[in-house]
Amino acid sequence: MRYLFVVVAALSVLAFCACDRPTEVVTPANPNTVVVTPVPGPAGAQGAQGAQGAQGVQGAPAQKGETGATGMTGTEGAKGEQGNKGNKGNQGDQGNPGGN
């Protein structure tokens, strides 16, 4: 209970101090005031072309890659079709007569 009086006294001091502050009123600028802003002029002439840049440094050579693995064996192909029958051959020459 004795602390209650101390707290009430401190709060009342703060409340009375806040009431004594003067209020500040900010008046807005005259809305009829004309603000002059400069207008940009025409564009100037184009400048001269710049110099060419220096050539870059050549990069390091690439490293050789590893050899790839051997591929899988392919599947067996389809069976081919049977060919056409051949033409009849020529008749042979007559043999030599026999000797006695």
Q: What CA–CA distance (Å, rounded) separates 4 from 27?
A: 44
Give pTM, 2 decimals: 0.20
Q: What CA–CA distance (Å, rounded) separates 57 from 59?
A: 6
Q: Return the H-helix or E-strand segment holding 58.
A: none
From first to last of the 100 residues of the chain, give the pLDDT tens digit.
678 878 888 888 777 766 656 677 777 767 677 777 888 889 889 999 999 999 989 989 999 989 999 999 989 989 989 989 989 888 888 888 877 6
**Phi, psi (5° rounding) for residue 53?**
-75, 165
Predicted confidence at residue 36, as pLDDT, reads 78
Q: What CA–CA distance (Å, rounded) separates 10 from 76?
A: 103
